[in-house]
Each structure stands twice: as C-alpha cells, then as structure tokens.
Amino acid sequence: MRTVVERELELNLVLSPERSVPVPARLTYHSDDPYAVHVSFHIGSEHPVDWTFARELLVEGVFRPCGHGDVRVWPTKVDGRGVVLMALSSPDGDALLEAPAAQVSAWLERTLRIVPPGTESGRLDIDDGLAELLSPGPRFTAEERSPAEGNGGGNGS
C-alpha cells in the first residue's frame, strides 16, 4: 500500500544576509520510494522547481551539518527561531533556502512513523522486479527480427 505524506510550507530564499523572499513549497514523501524526499518550490513560474534527495540527508540536517555537492543541509537560528538551511546547486544556479525547523521536523516524524529507518528496503519490490528482469522473454525467429538486430549475416559486400 502506498502512503503519501505532504506538507505545504513557506520557505525563505536567502538573497543576502539582509534580504530574503518567501517561496511557497511542498514537501512530499512516498512510501514506495522510501529513501527519497521531494521538494517542490513554487517560484511564480508555470511549473514548480522540483528537487529529490535522500530522506536521511534531511533527517540528519535537522540536527547537524551534512551533505556535500548538490545538496547540503544544516540547522541554525535566525532571529531566535530554529531553521533548517538547504543549499542547492545545479547547472542553472545556486539557492540557499531557509525552512522552519519545527515544521520540517514534524513532517519528517510522520514519514519516519510510516517507514521507520532501517526498514526502507522492505518497501521496495526488488524481488518481483528482479524476477521480471530475469524471466525468459518472448523468443523471436530470424524472420521476426528487425534488420538492426541482424540475422548473423555480414554487411552484404
């Protein structure tokens, strides 16, 4: 059974130490994709900007700095309130986003109740997927093969 946990919240896109702009966002977790979290940022364009990264990275980032490369997450305080900072890098640019720690933590707790840490692999249908990949497929006769597959012949010269 697939379970989806979503949370709408407002993040701040940090433009400078003195300036940030609000960005509506949606956190999404799917129990059938148990290792990942999905974040959609609604930045006024026709389509949201979507990021997917490891749930474990966000869980750890609520407590201590973690990650490297495209996604880094760490906790801090801004004006006396707990926030989680997410630094995202892509070929299109970099962004530093500030999320309310309490809201992110509450959402993460819901995902962890649905799929506790260490049980993620049990949610993946690996055995059925492997069985399908390894099952004998349909057999083709030489006449049924396309020319690109070849019939064992040469190049015709």
The string of pLDDT tens digits covering residues 11-57 is: 999 999 899 999 999 999 999 889 999 999 987 778 889 999 999 99
User: What was the pLDDT predicted at 129?
Assistant: 57
- Compute the distance between CA of residue 9 and CA of residue 12 in angstroms, rounded to an integer: 10
User: What was the pLDDT predicted at 15?
Assistant: 94
User: What was the pLDDT predicted at 26?
Assistant: 95
User: What was the pLDDT predicted at 120?
Assistant: 74
Measured over the CA atoms of residue 100, residue 103, residue 104 and residue 106, the dihedral's sign is: positive
- Compute the distance between CA of residue 93 and CA of residue 86 in angstroms, rounded to an integer: 14
Which helix (H) or strand (E) element contains residue 25?
strand 19-30
User: What was the pLDDT predicted at 116?
Assistant: 87
Which are the contacts of 51, defined by CB distance < 8 A and separation ≥ 6? 38, 39, 40, 41, 71, 88
User: What was the pLDDT predicted at 94?
Assistant: 93
User: What was the pLDDT predicted at 43?
Assistant: 75
User: What was the pLDDT predicted at 2?
Assistant: 85
Tokens 């509506």 belong to: 24
Q: In angstroms, what is the C-alpha Rg of the chain? A: 23
pLDDT tens across the length of the chain (157 residues): 788 999 999 999 999 989 999 999 999 999 988 999 999 998 777 888 999 999 999 999 999 999 988 999 999 999 899 999 999 999 988 999 999 999 999 999 999 999 888 767 765 665 565 566 677 766 555 565 555 544 444 444 4
